[in-house]
A and B are shown apart, each in its own frame.
Chain A
Amino acid sequence: MQINEIQDELIEDFAFYQDWMEKYEYIIQLGKEVPLIEEQYKTEEYIIKGCQSKVWLFPELKDGKIYFTADSDAIITKGLVSLMVKVLSGQTPQDIAKADLYFIDQIGLKEHLSPTRANGLLSMVKQMKLYAIALQAAS
């Protein structure tokens, strides 16, 4: 599936949840489904800075596509990184680098995108795009 198709699907999923509590429960659930980063990569090198909690993100290039694995020591943050992985993993570096992630706003998580938020959603997006640009040059 293309990035925008996945985004649209997520927007539909989230529309199903009426209140914030259900929304967060869904995010927590998504966190449990994140493809987990291998322990050996849970190092300083793969930590995303700018989060109050720790987030590790590891990119791997396979057959021209980037696959992300991740983890966090906070449950909600893990859900947020899982969302991003869901949308961007398995896509080409080109598509990731130019992706317009409109779904974040539409599912009501825009508040989490401000640079001053401690969860680092913005840092996650930035880091994933940086990896894409770096791997694009390498491939």
Chain B
Amino acid sequence: MNTKEILKAINIEKIRADFPILQREVNGKPLVYFDNGATTQKPKQVIDAVAHYYEQMNSNVHRGVHYLSQISTDAFEVTRRKLQAFIHAEHEHEVIITKGTTESINMVATCYGRKFIGEGDEIIVSAMEHHSNIVPWQMLCDEKGCVLKVIPMNDRGELDLDVYKSLFSSKTKIATFTYVSNALGTINPVKEMIDIAHEHQVPVLLDAAQAVQHMAVDVQALDVDFLVFSGHKMYGPTGVGVLYGKEALLNAMPPYQGGGDMIKEVSFEKTTYNELPFKFEAGTPNIEAGICLGEAIDYLNELGLEQIKAYEDELLAYATAELSQVEGVRFIGTAAQKSSVISFVVDGTHPYDIGVILDKLGIAVRTGHHCAQPVMERFGIPGTVRMSLAMYNTKAEVDTLVEGLKRALKMLL
């Protein structure tokens, strides 16, 4: 199907009907939810699955011989296979189920860092990372005496690949960057960047938290070494996420936490660790979230990420065009390749002011630094108003936002 046919085939009203929260009002107005970069709403298929889990399946996983433990374990492992297929991992044991993106990054910083990074070594990060992909590496640097090297970006919010190439040295131990910027919407040329890192035999951690819900991601095609993302930003439950790692790397790394599930045998003399993926899954996981994330994947697969992307790209272009008509709006992040995020400021107002008034109109946006203070500093602003789109948003909602913004500016300026 070409884009036009896709857009014709996609039934947004049917999708919206699957999301109960979209039917509610906020401050007496129909909810317009444009804070999808922070978290997406959940379809009733996911919500119902949570109730079903507690009503029919609840039991601990990977340990009981009894019926309930077996069905919950099976369901949890079904999600792992769905995740494997979703990101095209070679092996299902390369998919570690975590609490979310932040924990996944901390696991790599801690475990890969503990084993492979030492004093004077270098870690490459990009200037557009959110705090979760900066601070764990800084903590490692404090502990080990290693150094962060930062890939700068231009005024459009695009990374400077020439500088990136020049940052590699014999001391570079890992490179990490985001697939899609949460604050700017930039889609980075990650395949090219991964290939460059591999020319220097440096592994790459790719933060796909803002990518997997918007576009198809294939870890083998990308040849990426680590990939992380969260369930709650892809229409699934909170408290669950993924660390994908290449088998050889995961096997070479020490475990993250000690506890149940991650061991083979324990004695006071010696403990042997379990195999992948369980080596990295100490303790009882967030079972219902793990199981119900599978429902979210089914939901995405049924619609198809190609269709979702075509629809969201069209909506992004529409929203960008409409907002650019509003006097005073200045976009932060104007990369050639963008996904789902529009960040802007209006000179003479603070993003907070706009957010407060939009909220009164039932419109949810995010204001502030979006947990990416270095990005705001780069553009010399305290923060932005960020509208972040999802597949259930409509052009009518964009119109409501634009009207709301005009009303806010009339009050504020």
Q: How large is the interface on B (under 10, 10 to 19, 20 to 34, 35 or more residues)?
A: 10 to 19
Contact A25:B352 (CB < 8 A) given known A20-B360, A52-B367, A52-B368? no
Residue positions of B touching A, CB distance < 8 A: 27, 349-353, 356-357, 360, 367-368, 382-383, 411-412
Q: How far is the CA of A39 from the CA of B74 in the complex (A)?
A: 65
Specify which of A54, A74, A119 lies most central, judged by the most chain B CB atoms within 10 Å of its CB. A74
Contact A75:B367 (CB < 8 A) given known A20-B360, A54-B382? no
Task: State whether B411 touches A53 (Cβ < 8 A).
Answer: no
Task: State whether B352 touches A74 (Cβ < 8 A).
Answer: yes
Jot down 16 A-B pairs with beta carbons below 8 A, ordered by A: A20-B27, A24-B356, A24-B411, A25-B411, A28-B412, A52-B351, A53-B353, A72-B350, A73-B350, A74-B353, A75-B353, A76-B353, A76-B356, A118-B352, A118-B368, A119-B352
Q: How far is the CA of A120 from the CA of B27 in the complex (A)?
A: 21
Between A and B, how many residue pairs show CB distances below 8 Å? 45
> Nearest-CB distance from A105 to chain B (Å)?
18
Report B-chain residues with C-beta under 8 Å of the C-beta of A53: 350, 352-353, 382
Task: State whether A75 touches B412 (Cβ < 8 A).
Answer: yes
Residue positions of A touching B, CB distance < 8 A: 20-21, 24-25, 28, 52-54, 72-77, 118-119
Q: How far is the CA of A28 from the CA of B352 in the complex (A)?
A: 13
> Nearest-CB distance from B220 to chain A (Å)?
42
Task: State whether A74 touches B350 (Cβ < 8 A).
Answer: yes
Report B-chain residues with C-beta under 8 Å of the C-beta of A118: 352, 367-368
Task: State whether B368 touches A77 (Cβ < 8 A).
Answer: no
Q: How far is the CA of A118 from the CA of B359 in the complex (A)?
A: 13
Report B-chain residues with C-beta under 8 Å of the C-beta of A77: 350, 352-353
Report B-chain residues with C-beta under 8 Å of the C-beta of A73: 350, 382
Given contact pairs A52-B367, A75-B350, A77-B350, a sample of 7 additional A-B residue pairs in the complex whose CB atoms are under 8 Å apart: A72-B350, A73-B350, A75-B349, A75-B412, A76-B352, A76-B353, A76-B357
Report A-chain residues with C-beta under 8 Å of the C-beta of B411: 21, 24-25, 28
> Nearest-CB distance from B40 to chain A (Å)?
21
Report A-chain residues with C-beta under 8 Å of the C-beta of B356: 24, 76, 119
Report B-chain residues with C-beta under 8 Å of the C-beta of A21: 360, 411
Contact A24:B350 (CB < 8 A) given known A52-B367, A54-B382, A75-B412? no
Which chain B residue shows the least CB distance to A72? B350
> Nearest-CB distance from B125 to chain A (Å)?
25
Task: State whether B360 touches A24 (Cβ < 8 A).
Answer: yes
Report B-chain residues with C-beta under 8 Å of the C-beta of A76: 352-353, 356-357, 412
Task: State whether A52 touches B383 (Cβ < 8 A).
Answer: yes
Going nearest first, the 6 A-B pairs with the smallest beta carbon separation are A74-B350, A74-B352, A53-B352, A52-B352, A75-B353, A76-B353
